[in-house]
Structures are given as C-alpha cells and as structure tokens.
Amino acid sequence: MLVEMRGRSQITIPAEIVKNLGIKEGDQFDVVEKDGGIFLCPVVVYPKKEMIRIAKLIKETDAEYKNGELKAYDDVDKMFKEMGINLDEI
C-alpha cells in the first residue's frame, strides 16, 4: 500500500491495517529505522508505579512458593482479579 508523507512528518496508516491489527487512537509504537526502512512496532508502556506493584507481587509469590503457601488457581480471570488486575481494561 502506498502512503504519502504529510506536513509535520505525518503518515496515515491504511484503515485495513488498522482494523487487522486492532490499533486504536492513543496506541503507542516504537519507530525503528533499519536498512533504509521504517518499522512501527506496537508497544505497551507501563507506568513505573505499576511496574513496582507487579515486581512486589512477583516477590510475594516467590516467597509463598518457597514457603509452600502458593495458592493454585483454575480460573485465570479470578487469579488476575485477586491480583488487582482488571482484564476488562486491557
């Protein structure tokens, strides 16, 4: 598909590609220049506060595992809900 560079270095991603990849307004991309090409790689950026919270959960889980206190789940939605992660927001 052919696209054209617009003012302020803007390029429109064709609607078919946006639909196929499920891209939404506000999604973020890493832009990479390699071998004369430009590549857009979708990324998810987590706030530092969330990364600290996730790291704490991992440490707590590791400690529970080492102490034989690890809880088993048979429902992934319930597991994430108890971790404070709302899958509906993803």
Mean pLDDT along residues 54-61: 89
Distance between CA atoms of 60 and 67, rounded to whole angstroms? 11
% of the chain residues with pLDDT over 70 = 98
pLDDT of residue 3: 92
Q: Which domains does the chain have, with CATH numbers?
A: 7-43 (2.10.260), 48-89 (no CATH)
pLDDT of residue 35: 97
pLDDT of residue 16: 95
Q: Which amino acid type is present at position 77? A: D
Give the tens place of pLDDT for each residue, 22-39. 999 999 999 999 999 999
Position 43 confidence tier, pLDDT thresholds 50, 70, 90: very high
Distance between CA atoms of 28 and 17, rounded to whole angstroms? 15
Say whether pLDDT at 87 is over 80. no
